[in-house]
């Protein structure tokens, strides 16, 4: 048990170090996307480990985190159902449901699928004068099909195809403009390196390295006249070590680095009566260009003189504070870490932390979770507590997952 305590203290220390390293000289510049529900963690296991799920051992919810991991599943098939009451600090009728599963066809091929449903509760639409137009229940859903191919005993790749539908207005006419649902076709790509015989010191275990690019898809607009926005494309790199201390005790340590692959908003301001771009790049670009641009387009901080006026260069551009662009790019990286202890493959407790820079959204929280497994069934639970010292709409978020393990039979050989 002392190893688990050390692991949890380490996670809290990492969060504290990153919090102290926050850049006070950078402006608030949060990256926003359309269809953010596509990036909400759906399951309780990773949700109880700080959302560090990219390299976790395979399960039915791997189709969200890392489909290629399913090539190394010990079970031939599994189904899971997750439920998350959402933003309970603000409302009591929003929720996310997630149904997922997989089947290992043989030793090399695995297929998977998932359905995500997000209800925004009941919303009353009004006109500019506050008159009630109608009540509606906006909702969004996503359908996913996945395939994992095992390249060798240690390497695997995976791909997902997705369709997402977002109906936020029910076709309501706003300011004379007819709105419409947003529709997305997207893909996930994933890669896993899995080594099941690793020794660190005197401890035997399993090491996993994984990388994914999620939600590579078209931009979305909710009316003909509206600007099209990016969906939450993101890059995740994960490491996990599953330490087997004895026949009864197994502890998994997981660490993820995550970042959006969406252009950073440029910095605009009013100069001499005109709104001008002071720094950064336009985000009116295509999907692939936007993914690449996200690595080098942070605007940084525009330098000012002693009078508070922006300093302009001879070529008409504006002087940027040295190093601020690189510093802002670094702040777009999120860190997630978690620890999980299983006793006799029957009972588990877990915890983790998630860190996002306060200039990029300020999501900083501690997660706690537990699992109980009996025969074919297991149930997971997780709880989120805010760490940033202020009221957070995500605080007290609960997640529940029910898993059904459908088979322990060995998968068929391809030979």
Model confidence pLDDT, tens digit, residues 228-252: 999 999 999 999 999 999 989 999 9
Q: Among 7-21, 249-263, 297-311, 375-389, where is mean pLDDT lowest?
A: 7-21
Beta bridge partners of 304: 310
Q: Selecting from 3.40.50.970, 3.40.50.12160, 3.40.50.300, 2.40.160.40, what CATH number does the domain 2-264+337-407 have?
A: 2.40.160.40
390 pLDDT more than 70: no
d(CA 102, CA 85): 25
Three-state SS sequence of 291-337: HHHCCCCCCCCECECCCCCECECCCCCECECCCHHHHHHHHCCEEEE
Cα–Cα nearest to 261, from 215, 218, 228: 215
Cα dihedral sign, 45-49-51-54: negative
d(CA 211, CA 237): 4
412 pLDDT more than 80: no
Nearest 5 degrees, angle CA 99-CA 100-CA 106?
160
16 pLDDT more than 80: no
Model confidence pLDDT, tens digit, residues 164-200: 999 988 777 766 778 889 999 999 999 999 998 898 8
Domain ranges of the chain: 2-264+337-407, 268-331
Model confidence pLDDT, tens digit, residues 32-50: 999 999 999 999 999 999 9
Q: Are 213 and 194 in contact (CB under 8 A)?
A: no
Residue 372 token pair? 């109980």
What is the DSSP track for 33-65?
-S-GGGGS---HHHHTTTT--TTSPP-TTHHHH
Residue 92 token pair? 């009591």
Note the pTM of the prediction, 2 decimals: 0.88
Q: What is the pLDDT of residue 389?
A: 61
pLDDT band at 20; cut points 50, 70, 90: very low
């Amino acid at each position: 048990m002392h190893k688990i305590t050390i692991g949890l203290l380490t996670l809290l220390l990492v969060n504290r170090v990153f919090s102290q390293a926050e850049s006070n000289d950078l402006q608030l510049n949060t990256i926003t996307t359309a269809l953010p529900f596509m990036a909400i963690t759906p399951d309780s296991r990773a949700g109880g480990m700080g959302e560090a799920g990219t390299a976790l051992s395979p399960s039915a919810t791997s189709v969200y985190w890392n489909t290629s991991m399913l090539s190394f599943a010990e079970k031939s098939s599994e189904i899971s159902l997750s439920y998350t009451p959402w933003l309970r600090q603000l409302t009591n009728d929003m929720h996310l449901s997630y149904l997922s599963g997989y089947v290992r066809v043989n030793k090399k091929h695995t297929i998977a699928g998932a359905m995500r449903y997000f209800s925004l509760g009941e919303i009353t639409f009004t006109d500019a004068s506050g008159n009630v137009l109608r009540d509606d229940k906006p909702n969004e859903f996503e359908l996913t099909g996945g395939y994992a191919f095992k390249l060798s005993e240690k390497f695997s790749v995976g791909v997902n195809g997705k369709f997402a539908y977002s109906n936020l207005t029910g076709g309501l006419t706003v300011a004379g403009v007819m709105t419409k649902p947003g529709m997305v076709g997207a893909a996930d790509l994933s890669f896993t390196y899995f080594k099941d015989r690793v020794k660190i010191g005197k401890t035997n275990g399993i090491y996993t390295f994984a990388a994914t690019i999620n939600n590579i898809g078209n931009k979305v607009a909710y009316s003909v006249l509206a600007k099209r926005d990016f969906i939450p494309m993101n890059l995740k790199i994960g490491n996990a070590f599953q330490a087997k201390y004895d026949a009864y005790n197994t502890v998994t340590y997981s660490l993820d680095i995550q970042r959006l692959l969406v252009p950073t908003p440029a910095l605009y301001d009013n100069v001499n009566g005109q709104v001008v771009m002071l720094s950064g790049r336009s985000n009116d670009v295509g999907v692939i260009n936007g993914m690449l641009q996200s690595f080098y387009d942070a605007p940084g901080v525009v330098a000012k003189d002693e009078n508070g006026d922006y300093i302009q260069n001879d070529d008409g551009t504006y002087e940027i504070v040295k190093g601020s662009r690189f510093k802002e790019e670094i702040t777009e990286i999120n860190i997630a870490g978690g620890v999980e202890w299983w006793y006799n493959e029957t009972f588990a407790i877990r915890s983790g932390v998630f860190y996002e820079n306060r200039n990029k959204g300020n999501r900083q929280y501690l997660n706690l979770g537990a699992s109980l497994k009996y025969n074919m069934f297991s149930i997971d639970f997780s709880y989120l507590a805010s760490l940033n010292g202020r009221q957070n709409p995500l605080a007290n978020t609960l997640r529940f997952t029910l898993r059904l393990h459908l088979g322990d039979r060995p998968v068929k050989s391809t030979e």
